[in-house]
Structure 1
Amino acid sequence: MLMYNKQKKTQGQAGKNRLLISITVIGSAGPIRFVVNAEELVASVMDTALKSYAREGRLPVLGSNVNEFVLYCPIAGTEALSPVEAIGSFGIRNFMLCKKPQPMEEVGGDGKPVTVGITRKNSGSWKSWFNKSFNLKVSTH
């Protein structure tokens, strides 16, 4: 009976500051779910998510460098979360992990690489795609 009370007491204390979070990786089949301390830093959570992603053998292969990724909260807005903040300070449990956009490099006329801004092949937004897809052309006959 004494052992049972000690286990119950320690479980109750540990459960107060732990969160079950869900991280969706862009291009992956489903979210990664794991338990973290609410005081854990965003960078540490990203590292855990990348390691878990690799251990499960998910595709596409991402790598393990935390500095190449950003963590977003789809509900809170479009700003990336600061890597030095506590994950529990946001009050949210669903996140999205994205790779940082890398600038493209081109070789200039003198043979030196020139960094160019990020370009898009498409027009840019889902709204413009939607408007182009459902553009109704009304003919007179």
Structure 2
Amino acid sequence: MLLNKQKKNQNAKGNRLLITINVLGSAGPIRFVVNENELVAAVIETALKSYAREGRLPVLGSDIGAFLLYCPHRATDALSPWESIGSQGGARNFMLCRKPQPMKVKEADEAAETLNRNKGSGSWKAWFNKSIKISSH
């Protein structure tokens, strides 16, 4: 009878999932238990707090709006912060990444200039032919 009450309480709250979140640039994953009805934004917040509490590097900060959570089953699309973590069809492994920062016009011009400067004269074939001169005696 006690077991039935526990199952009913669990179903009322939703199932709990042990999830693994890999943080790009970190040495190992973070694991914690969440409710399957938990929003992705709350999961990101919990992951950032756990990451900071463990003193991991690189330091990520606590701005949940600066991060995206990816699921390997959804290809390259990041999860919406407003969907539940359990809506991923039983997925338990996720990847936490910083949102890409848009490049400013000045930075883009500098990057293009650097690329042109490094290009040099000629292609890699010309460089290769200059490097491997075979002399005949």
TM-score by length of 2: 0.69
Are the aligned partners of 1:103 and 1:115 in contact in 2 as well (CA < 8 Å)?
no
Q: Give the equivalent residue in structure 1 for 2:33.
A: 35
Q: Give the equivalent residue in structure 1 for 2:10.
A: 14
* Structure with the larger strand share: 1
Q: Give the equivalent residue in structure 2 for 1:100.
A: 99
Q: In 1, Cα distance between the equivalents of 2:76 and 2:22? A: 15
Given the superposition, is the C-alpha separation of residues 105 and 17 from structure 1 closer, same or farther in structure 2, using an over 3 Å criterion? same
Q: In 1, Cα distance between the equivalents of 2:107 and 2:84? A: 34
Shift of 1:105: 3.3
Q: In 2, Cα distance between the equivalents of 1:55 and 1:31? A: 14
Q: How many residue pairs get matched?
A: 109
Shift of 1:9: 4.8
Q: In 1, Cα distance between the equivalents of 2:53 and 2:5? A: 30
Regions of 4+ moved over 4 Å: 8-11, 114-117, 119-122
Q: In 2, Cα distance between the equivalents of 1:11 and 1:26? A: 38
Give the AA of the match of 1:73.
Answer: C
Give the AA of the match of 1:41.
Answer: L
Shift of 1:115: 7.5
Shift of 1:17: 1.0
Given the superposition, is the C-alpha separation of residues 54 and 86 from structure 1 closer, same or farther in structure 2, using an over 3 Å criterion? same
Q: CA deviation digits over 1:53-100, x for unaligned, max 9?
A: 000000000000000000001232100000000100112110000001
Are the aligned partners of 1:23 and 1:31 in contact in 2 as well (CA < 8 Å)?
yes
Q: In 1, Cα distance between the equivalents of 2:52 and 2:5? A: 32
* Structure with the larger helix share: 2
- The answer to whether 1:70 aligns with 2:58 is no
Q: In 2, Cα distance between the equivalents of 1:22 and 1:11? A: 25
Determine what percentage of the aligned residue pairs are the same residue: 61
Are the aligned partners of 1:103 and 1:116 in contact in 2 as well (CA < 8 Å)?
no
Larger Rg: 2
Given the superposition, is the C-alpha separation of residues 115 and 82 from structure 1 closer, same or farther in structure 2, using an over 3 Å criterion? farther
Give the AA of the match of 1:100.
Answer: K
TM-score by length of 1: 0.67
Given the superposition, is the C-alpha separation of residues 10 and 19 from structure 1 closer, same or farther in structure 2, using an over 3 Å criterion? farther
